Amino acid sequence: MTKALLVGLVAVLVGCSGGGASYETNREAAQALGDALCSRVQECGQLDEEFSACVNDVVVDICTENDCNAAPRASDDVIDECLAAIADVNCTNAEFPGVCVNIL
C-alpha cells in the first residue's frame, strides 16, 4: 500500500464529510486508526515512509475532514472492531474492511 492508497483508505474512514479502549475524541480514534493502518502496511512490507510519518499523515487527513476535538460517530466497540479488521487485512488483496466505513 502506497501513500496514495493509504490516503484513499482514510477518506473511507471519515466518509469525506468491546475492546476496552475509550475514544473521547476523533483525534484519539484517528491515532489508533493510524497506528493500525500503518502497522498493517508495514507488516505487508509496503510502507514507503517512516512509521511515525505515516501515522501523522493519517491523523492529519482525518482531522482535515473532521473536528478532531469532537466525539467520534461510532462507538468504542465499533472502532475496536474496525481496528481488529484492519489487522486482518490480506496483504495481497487489500480490501478495506466495511466495518470501518464512516466511523469518524
DSSP string, the chain: --HHHHHHHHHHHHTT---S----SHHHHHHHHHHHHHHHHHHTT---S-HHHHHHHHHHHHHHHS-TTSPPSS-HHHHHHHHHHHHT--SSS-PPPGGGTT--
Q: Hey, what's the cell of 6? A: 493509504
Confidence of residue 33 (pLDDT cuts 50, 70, 90): very high
Residue 28 lies in a domain: yes
Residue 52 lies in a domain: yes
Residue 16 lies in a domain: no
The structure's pTM equals 0.79
- How many structural domains comprise the chain? 1
Average pLDDT of the residues of the chain: 82
Residue 69 lies in a domain: yes
Q: In this predicted model, what pLDDT tens digit does every residue of 40-93 receive, in sequence order?
A: 999 999 999 999 999 999 999 988 888 999 999 899 999 999 999 999 998 887
Full residue range of the structural domain in which residue 38 is found = 3-11+21-100
